[in-house]
Structure 1
Amino acid sequence: MNAGSSAARRAAALGAGRRPGLWTRLLIALGIRAKPPTPQAALPWLMGAEGEAATQDLIDVLAGEGWAVFHDLGLPRSHSNVDHLLVPPSGEGIIVLDSKRWRATWPTSAVGGRLFCGDEDRHDQAEKAAFLARFVRDVVGPANLPVLPALVIHRSPVAADGHIEVLVDGWPRPLHVFGPQALLAHLRQRAGTPDPRRAARLAARVTQTLHPYSEGDPRWAG
């Protein structure tokens, strides 16, 4: 499944992308009527879909370097989904990426260990990323499986050359926040010594326990 598919479907359900009727299109073409705006409720979903697609464009190259790369996976017994999940060539753990597309004129920074975009506290997004990583660890297993959560922020410039760290209560290590320009280099540093068998086993376990996200699928019922 492509990244952003579920977010794009939610945006469409809220009215984004609906084509005006023939008469309305004629009035728009004649300049008599303005083009209808995208419904406000759909905008966050559209932005989310764009951010996820941008991350997919970046990280799909890793599939040719021995990584297993997954997008838009559903979590069992939950309405949540994982934007992107990667198994490195070493098979030594899982990286869970959550994509965001934030305001270009507001910088993303760490203030007192908390995540901010401009003057807005966005630390709930870091907490969500840690929650998703913990859920993936519990579902995919084993209990000692290393799982690294991270956020990828598009448009909003990430301080410190595109890589900052924030602290999340209950998560033992700093959580990484990347701009797209810093993401691939950091991931490649975590490729480890290739172990194709171990990596294939872990990727197969991901495929067995997590599935392409689909709203309304009974596998994701609470």
Structure 2
Amino acid sequence: MNAGSSATERAAALGAGRRPGLWVRLLIALGVREAPTTPDAAVPWLKGAEGEAATQALVDVLVDEGWTVFHDLGLPRSNSNVDHILIPPSGEGIILLDSKRWWASWLTASFGGRLYCGEEDRHDEAEKAVWLAGFVRDVVGIAGLPVLPALVIHGSTVAGGHLQVVVDGWPRPLHVFGPQTLMANLRERAGRPNPRRAAQLASRVNQMLHPYVEGGS
């Protein structure tokens, strides 16, 4: 499944992207009706889909470098999904990327230990990312498996290109990347190739997590 599929489906369910019927299109062409606008409720989902697709375009090149890459996986017994799961060639753990597309005119930065985009407190997104990481760790069920959650921010500039923020209940800082720093940081985590271990971990992830289905569980 391509990244952003679930967000696109949610936007469609809220009325975005539906093509008007023939008669309505004729009235629009004659100036009798106005073209439909995207419903406000659908805008965040469309932006989310754009962010996920942008991250996918970046990380898919890692497959040729021995990485295993999954997109848009659903969590069992939950309506939540994971945007991207990456397994490095070493097979030493899982990297979870949660993609965001925030306002381009605002700076993403850390103030007082919390994550902000402009003046808006977005620390709840950091908390969600580590919650997802803990959920995936428990579902995969491999003792001692390292799980690294990270946010990837598109649109908004990330201060310094890379932030780390502390989230209560998670043992290590959460990484927040801009697209320009993401790939170099990922490649630093490739490790020594161990195809057998990486394949076993990928098989376990594939067994326990499945492509996200809107409204599924």
Short-chain TM bin: over 0.9
CA drift at 1:20: 1.4
Q: Secondary structure at the match of 1:108?
A: strand
CA distance in 2, matches of 1:216, 1:189: 37
2:120 is equivalent to residue 120 of structure 1: yes
Q: Are 1:154 and 1:180, in contact at CA under 8 Å, matched by a contact in 2?
A: yes
Q: Distance in 2 between matches of 1:177 and 1:31?
A: 46
Task: Decide whether the 8 Å contact of 2:72 with 2:212 is kept in 1.
Answer: yes
Q: What is the CA-CA distance between 1:27 and the residue it aligns to?
A: 2.7
Partner of 2:153: 153
Deviates more, 1:31-40 or 1:141-150: 31-40
- For structure 2, the residue ranges without an aligned partner over 5 or more in a row are none
User: What are the residue-to-residue correspondences of 1:135-214 with 2, within 5 Å?
Assistant: 135-160=135-160, 162-214=161-213
What SS does structure 1 have at the residue aligned with 2:17? coil
Question: 8 Å contact 1:10–1:42 — kept in the other structure?
Answer: yes
CA separation in 2, counterparts of 1:15 and 1:147? 36
> Could you report, residue by residue, the CA deviation over 1:33-82 in whole angstroms, capped at 9, with x for unpaired residues?
33211011111111111110110001000011000000000111111100
Query: How many equivalent pairs are there?
Result: 217
How far, CA to CA, are the matches of 1:80 and 1:216 in structure 2? 10
Q: Which residue of 2 aligns with 1:84?
A: 84
Q: TM-score, normalised by structure 1?
A: 0.95
CA contact (8 A) 1:76 1:210 kept: yes
Q: Is the 8 A contact 1:113 1:165 kept in 2?
A: no
Aligned-pair Cα RMSD in Å: 1.0
Letter in 1 for 2:155: R
Give 1:89's aligned amino acid.
Answer: P
Is residue 9–residue 214 contact of structure 2 (8 Å, CA) maintained in 1? Answer: no
For residues 122-166 of structure 1, give each alpha carbon's deviation from its aligned partner in whole angstroms, at most 9, with x where no partner exists: 000000000000011111121310000000000001101x10111
**Where in structure 2 are the equivalents of 1:34-113 lying within 5 Å?**
34-113=34-113
Give secondary structure in 1 for the equivalent of 2:169: coil
Distance 1:62 1:215 in 2: 28
Q: Is the 8 A contact 2:10 2:214 kept in 1?
A: no
SS at match of 1:3: coil
Instruction: Please state how far the C-alpha of 1:106 moved relative to its aligned partner.
Output: 0.6
**In the alignment, residue 141 of structure 1 is paired with which amino acid?**
G
SS in 1 for 2:100: strand
Cα distance in 1 between the residues matched to 2:20 and 2:213: 27
1:142-197, CA deviations, whole angstroms, 9 ceiling, x for partnerless residues?
Answer: 1310000000000001101x101111001011100001111000000000000000
Distance 1:169 1:216 in 2: 30
Q: For the residues of structure 2 that align with 1:176 and 1:9, how far apart are their CA atoms?
A: 28
Q: Secondary structure at the match of 1:64?
A: helix
Change in Cα spacing, 1:21 to 1:98, as seen in structure 2 (3 Å) is same
Residues in 2 aligned to 1:137 and 1:213: alpha-carbon distance in whole angstroms = 18
Per the normalisation by structure 2, the TM-score is 0.97
Paired letter, 2:9: R
